[in-house]
Amino acid sequence: MATTSRVNLRKELSISIADYRLLTATADGNEQKTSHVASGLANLPGGRDPDAFIEWYDFATSGANAAESKRVASYIPDTYTLLYQEAHGAQTARDDTFELHRYDPTLKNAAINIALAELFPWLYNGTPDETLMVDNLLSNSDFETFSSGFTGWTEVGSPTVTAETSRVYHGVQAAKIVAGAAAGQLTQAPTVNILEVTGKGAVFKMRAYATAGSVARIRLDWDGSNFSNSSYHSGKNQWELLEVAPSVPSTATQVKVICEVAAGGTAFFDAGWLAIDPLYRYTIPASMVRGPFQVLQQATEDDINGPYYGLRNGPTQGRVLRLTGMKVLSLPTTDTGTTEIGEPHLRLLVAYAKKVLWEMLVATSASLRRAGLLENVKLAQQEVERISRQPGIRMRPMAASRGAGSWHVESSGGTRYLVFD
C-alpha cells in the first residue's frame, strides 16, 4: 500500500501553486529567536530587495523549531536574514532547514486534511481491519491504542509501560513493560456476569517476548487473592504463545486478566484474547465507514500473518477476523504522519486541496484580492473535474456486502455491528 507523508503532500500542493522553497540556514539566528539566516535567499526572486518576503511564512522542517511556522516581519538582504513577527521556541541553528511560503503553511496542512476527508468515496483507505478476534472479551488486546498508557488497561506495580513499534507480533505496535522493584502488570477486568459463567471454561492467551526465563507470564485473577497462572516465557528471544485455560471457580467475583513481568525484568506482549462464551455481535470499527464487504478469519493460530479464509464452518474462537471495507483516508497531524495514498490518486488530492486552499483564502482576504482568488477557485474546480474523469484516478467502489448467510451488518444508535448468523 502506497503512503505519503504530510510534508510531501504539502510540498506537492505548494509546487502546484508555485509556492515551494526549501532553504538551509547558513548561520545561527539571533539570541532573541526571531531570525533565520540563509544565503540561499539571495538566489530567490527579489532576494536582494529589502522589501522581499515581508509577510511570508517560515516553516521550520528540522532542528529545535521543527514544525513551527512564523510570519516574516522584515528582511535584511546584506546578511540574508529573515526577521519574524514573533519568536521561535528556540534559537535557529546553522544547517536547520525551513520552507518559505507566500501562503500560510498551516492553512495548506488544513486544506490537505479537508481534501482527504471530502474526497471519500472517490478516494478511500481499503486496508483490511484486523483488530477483532473471535469471542474476545477484552478491549485493545492488540495494544494498538496508546495515549499516556494503553486504553482499557490498568498499570499495577509502577512499571514503565510504552508502545513498542520495533518488536511487534501483529499490527503496528505491542506493549513493552519494564518492571521496577516490584512485579509490573497490565490488567483488565471486562464486564462479565459471574453467575452466568461460573463453572464454564475460560481461555486467556497472549503472545509474549522475553530474553530471560521466568520473567513474563499471564494470569487470571478471580477475586484478588486466587489466581490461575500460565507457564513463564522460556526467555529464548522469540514470541511465544502463553495460555491459561481453567474453569471459572464458584468463588470468583471477577474475571481479571494480567500481563505480568517479574521485578527488574523487561517483556513485550501482543495479540491476546480472553473467551468464555461464544460472541455473536461485534462492534465494527468506527473508521470503517462502509462495509465490511468481506469477512475472513485467520487460518491457523500459529500464523497470524498467514492466509485468511472464509467462514466455512462459522468463526473459530481466538482467531483474528479480517474485515475489508472502505475507510476515510488517515488525516496526518504531523509532518512525519502519513496517509494511505500515492500516484496516480495523489494528483486528484492535490487539485482538490488547492481548491480548498483558495476557498479558505477568499474567506480571510480583503475585497481587492477576492476576485483573483475566486478565479483561482474556479480554475481549481475545473482541474478537479478534469482529473477525476481520467481512467484510474477514482478508486473503484467495493462490491456490495454479501455474507453468504454466515454474517450480516446491523446498526443501532449510530453504531454498526457485525453479527454472525
pLDDT of residue 365: 79
Please give the pLDDT value at position 380.
Answer: 96
Q: Which of 102, 126, 154 delimits the end of a domain?
A: 102
- The reply to whether 143 and 93 lie within a common domain is no
Tell me which of 28-37, 103-112, 167-176, 403-412 is least confident. 403-412
Percentages helix, strand, coil for the chain (3-state, rounded to 5) are 20, 30, 50
Same domain as 289, residue 416:
yes
- When pLDDT is averaged across residues 239-261 and rounded to a whole number, the result is 97
pLDDT-above-70 percentage for the chain:
99
Give a yes or no: residue 118 inside a domain. Answer: no
Query: How does residue 199 score in pLDDT terms, banded at 50, 70 and 90?
Result: very high
Mean pLDDT of 224-234: 97
pLDDT of residue 72: 95
pLDDT of residue 77: 93
CATH at 218: 2.60.120.260
> Does residue 143 form part of some domain?
yes
332 inside domain = no
CB-based burial label for 146 (10 Å; 0-12, 13-18, 19+): middle
Average pLDDT over residues 185-209: 97
C-alpha distance across the termini of the chain, in Å:
33
In a domain, 371, yes or no: no
Same domain, yes or no: 219 and 255: yes
Range of the domain at 202: 136-275
- 8 falls within a domain: no
Note the pTM of the prediction, 2 decimals: 0.84
pLDDT of residue 401 exceeding 70: no
340-362 mean pLDDT: 95
Confidence of residue 1 (pLDDT cuts 50, 70, 90): low
**pLDDT the model gives residue 312:** 78
Residues 96 and 183 in one domain: no
pLDDT exceeds cutoff 80 at 213: yes
pLDDT at 313: 78
Residues 239 and 310 in one domain: no
Average pLDDT, the chain: 94
Least confident span in 14-18, 299-303, 378-382: 299-303
Mean pLDDT of 363-367: 79
The pLDDT score that the predictor gives to residue 111 is 97
4: which residues sit within 8 A by CB, 6+ positions away? Answer: 338, 339, 341, 342, 346
Whether residue 386 lies inside any domain: the answer is no
Judged against a pLDDT cut of 70, whether residue 403 lies above it is answered with: no
Give residue-wise pLDDT tens across range 87-109: 999 999 999 999 999 999 999 99
User: Quick one: which of 274, 267, 241, 271 has its CA closest to 185?
Assistant: 267
Long-range contacts of 86-89, Cβ-Cβ distance < 8 Å, separation of 24 or more: 86/34, 87/32, 87/33, 87/34, 88/29, 88/33, 88/34, 88/60, 88/64, 89/33, 89/64, 89/65
Same domain? For 285 and 416 the reply is: yes
Q: Which of 275, 292, 314 is the last residue of a domain?
A: 275
Work out how many domains the chain is built from and give that number. Answer: 3
pLDDT of residue 406: 87
- Report the C-alpha gap between 137 and 259 in whole angstroms: 15
Predicted pLDDT at 314: 84
In a domain, 163, yes or no: yes
Rounded Cα gap, residues 59 and 67, in angstroms: 6
Asked if residue 311 has pLDDT above 70, the reply is yes
* For range 277-294, the mean pLDDT: 93
**67 and 27 in one domain?**
yes
Q: Same structural domain for residues 176 and 47?
A: no
C-alpha cell at 148: 499516556
194/231 same-domain check: yes
Q: Does any domain span residue 252? A: yes
Within 290-366, residue ranges assigned H as helices are 345-364
**Same domain membership, residue 145 and residue 53:** no
Banded model confidence at residue 421, pLDDT cuts 50, 70, 90: confident
Q: List Cβ neighbours of 99 (8 Å cut-off, separation of 6 or more).
A: 10, 14, 20, 21, 22, 23, 58, 59, 61, 105
Domain boundary among 241, 275, 309: 275
In the chain, the percentage of residues whose pLDDT exceeds 90 is: 91
> How large is the average pLDDT for residues 312-336?
93
- Asked if 289 and 242 sit in the same domain, the reply is no
> Phi/psi at 241 (nearest 5 deg)?
-90, 110
Say which CATH number the domain at 34 has. 2.40.30
- Same-domain check for residues 92 and 142: no
Q: Identify the band that residue 65 occupies on the pLDDT scale cut at 50, 70 and 90.
A: very high
